[in-house]
Structure 1
């Protein structure tokens, strides 16, 4: 340690800062633990700001920087520490502050999509679109009741959505009017192999960082790597890619204390071999595969901000597999109950028919 400090004293602070600016977040944090000189440099927010911008280019957008600077977030080091590790599925966080009021405007999302380690799409969502008009203190408003009771879907991008159509049960952004070529042109990529599902599984990455502006907390809701890639032949060969995580929740929120955050991306392969985005959205499901309503979804978002984290993406995938196994088991039990109920009804009807024939028909 003394030798290290001796060598460090031979280097100027500017040179040390330049060296540490080249480190990733984990290495920078480890270097800060070695001595007081490096700790002082590692506390500089400019280093963590640069790390956040390189890891999530959406945070470098003008709108995102305004949201972060005006929030209660302590600094970019806290944003990185909250958002880089992924959610652990097996433990419910303790001491979670209760949501006294539903405040969709408190949430902001920073979404980045990568292909072969190159960022191809960055977007910022401030609040939950279509809910910004309601007052959080007005618990009896029609918009409030609609938000709490309807299925929750947070849509980032929907090329095929046409305002004025639909059943009104999903939360769509009011300002989601992007030019078709503006969406697709910057995000093209050529495929070399014929197995496009495997290509997407290997090369595509997605990050969805949720920020609570009021409390200064953040969390990454994505699995980073795809959890599932499949081709939908019914929609002219679109590819459906699933990202997300399993959020442990209180039993009062969902009976089985697990919620699946599903980030759904849908794209298609053009004739010239390029990939174009058609939809990116996020919603929650329970262990029965049912979409969670807005009230519970906001509670789950709040609990996700305080979940335990891990840098192991294998643990995230294990949690997803366990959730799917539990889901299939519940579906199997439900079908078994329905089958038993059907047999009981049929047996009851047969018994009535036999009894009716015995007493009514002549011997």
Structure 2
């Protein structure tokens, strides 16, 4: 009786089959045998997987940001860093000895029902005093430059069905992290512009990174931006955001199908905690105002009594 194993297939056939797997299945297959591990380590297989996962890396034309991104990280490292969710407990002090990134490259992809809708690569110089001292904010699509060049943007997608991947890469260190919850954590309407705001957020080191996709009334994606906020609701500066991102890049990753829901739960917990801190601060300020008013009234009454008894 002749026993046939999967490794009896030609390497080209096995390689073709492996290219049809997702990243998690490909990593699992590489643990089966030494032969499959060698085939699964093929750089082109992982490159194809990354290009399928993040269409922004395959945009036509020459882009310094895309070349820099692909040159800085081998495809397998990029996938291992950017596909799993970052640990929310990453402490900013972890990366102090490594220095801050001097430049960030963002690969931003918006999907509708799993199909790519909009893709951008954004380069952000991060070493200037202006950036380090200003509130952290990165614009992937600005309102003055609407995404009319994307053919899919005319499809008037439903905002609730949008998904977002925002991969931030430090080219100098060769590390990356995905700072999006992938699925919306909240959907609301802007009180002034009437745009629908679709928010994607992750909590890192006690702060919140929130990516906002603004959809105009006709369904067009008008703006995509990323900002950071601390537990008191104040904007995180560029230097603080860089420390948080560097720590998240170095921290362990977390996988699992339930991570988007976990990210949403952590977001709402962050919002509740921020609201509680704001209410507690308002009560303290009201108590201080009351004490000051009482002290002022006591001083006035003392002065009046002194005048009356003179």
Provide TM-score, normalisation by structure 2.
0.90
**1:94, distance to aligned residue in structure 2 (A):** 8.0
Contact persistence 2:90–2:247 (CA under 8 A): no
Number of residue pairs matched by the alignment: 303
Query: What is the DSSP-based 3-state SS (H/G/I as helix, E as strand, rest coil) of the residue aligned with 2:148?
Result: helix
Determine helix, strand or coil for the equivalent of 2:88.
coil
Residues 145, 221 of structure 1: alpha-carbon distance in 2 compared, 3 angstrom cutoff? same
**The one of 129, 145, 165 aligned to 1:207:** 165
Cα distance in structure 2, aligned partners of 1:68 and 1:149: 26
Query: Where in structure 2 are the equivalents of 1:179-190 lying within 5 Å?
Result: 180=146, 182-183=148-149, 186-190=152-156
Question: Residue in 2 aligned with 1:77?
Answer: 76
* 8 Å CA contact 1:205, 1:224 repeated in 2: yes
Give secondary structure in 1 for the equivalent of 2:220.
Answer: strand
Report the equivalent of 1:109.
106
Deviations 1:185-212 (A, max 9, x none): 5412246xxxxxxx423x1000001111
**Is 2:247 the partner of 1:263?**
no
Residues 297 and 234 (structure 1 numbering): CA distance in 2 closer, same or farther, change over 3 Å? same
Deviation at 1:91, TM superposition (A): 4.9
CA contact (8 A) 1:87 1:246 kept: no
| Corresponding residue for residue 254 of structure 1 | none
Consecutive unaligned residues of structure 1, counting only runs of 5 or more, are: 137-143, 161-177, 192-198, 249-257
- Would the aligned equivalents of 1:90 and 1:319 in 2 still touch at CA under 8 Å? no
* Match of residue 51 from structure 1: 49
Q: Does 1:88 align with 2:87?
A: yes
SS across alignment from 2:155: coil
Residue 150, structure 1, aligned to residue 134, structure 2: yes
Partner residue of 1:25 out of 19, 23, 26: 23
Measured after TM superposition, the shift of residue 262 of structure 1 is 1.2
| Cα separation, 2, equivalents of 1:15 and 1:261 | 43
Pair 1:12–1:97, CA change in 2 (3 A): farther
Return the match for 1:307 from 240, 251, 271.
251
In 2, Cα distance between equivalents of 1:281 and 1:124: 12
Match of 2:195 in 1: 238
CA deviations 1:143-189 (Å, max 9, x no partner) are x33222222211111124xxxxxxxxxxxxxxxxx4x4734654122
**What is the CA deviation profile of residues 8-55 of structure 1, one whole-angstrom value per residue up to 9, with x for unaligned ones?**
243111111111111111111111111111111100011111111111
Kindly state the Cα deviation for residue 362 of structure 1 after the two structures are TM-superposed. 5.2
Q: Secondary structure at the match of 1:96?
A: helix
1:247–1:300 Cα contact (<8 Å) kept: yes
Instruction: For residue 278 of structure 1, report the CA deviation from its aligned partner.
Output: 1.8
Cross-structure match for 1:252: none
Cα pair distance change 1:331/1:95, threshold 3 Å: closer
The separation in 1 between residues aligned to 2:266 and 2:119, in whole angstroms, is: 27
Deviation at 1:122, TM superposition (A): 0.5
What is the rounded CA distance, in whole Å, between the counterparts of 1:186 and 1:268 in structure 2? Answer: 15
Query: Is the Cα–Cα contact under 8 Å of residues 223 and 313 in structure 1 kept in the other structure?
Result: yes
**1:305 partner SS:** helix
The answer to whether residue 263 in structure 2 is matched with residue 316 in structure 1 is yes
Query: How far has the Cα of 1:95 moved from its partner?
Result: 4.8
Q: Is the contact between residue 109 and residue 208 of structure 1 (CA under 8 Å) also seen in structure 2?
A: yes
2:58 to 26, 51, 60: 60
Per-residue deviation, residues 210-263 of structure 1 (Å, max 9, x unmatched): 11111111110111001111012421x211111121112xxxxxxxxx111111
Q: Of 267, 277, 300, which aligns to 1:353?
A: 300
The aligned residue for residue 275 of structure 2 is 328
Q: The residue matched to 2:216 in structure 1 has which SS?
A: strand
Alignment correspondent of 2:186: 228
Unmatched 5+ stretches in structure 2: none
Following TM superposition, by how much is the alpha carbon of 1:115 offset from its aligned partner in structure 2, in angstroms? Answer: 0.7
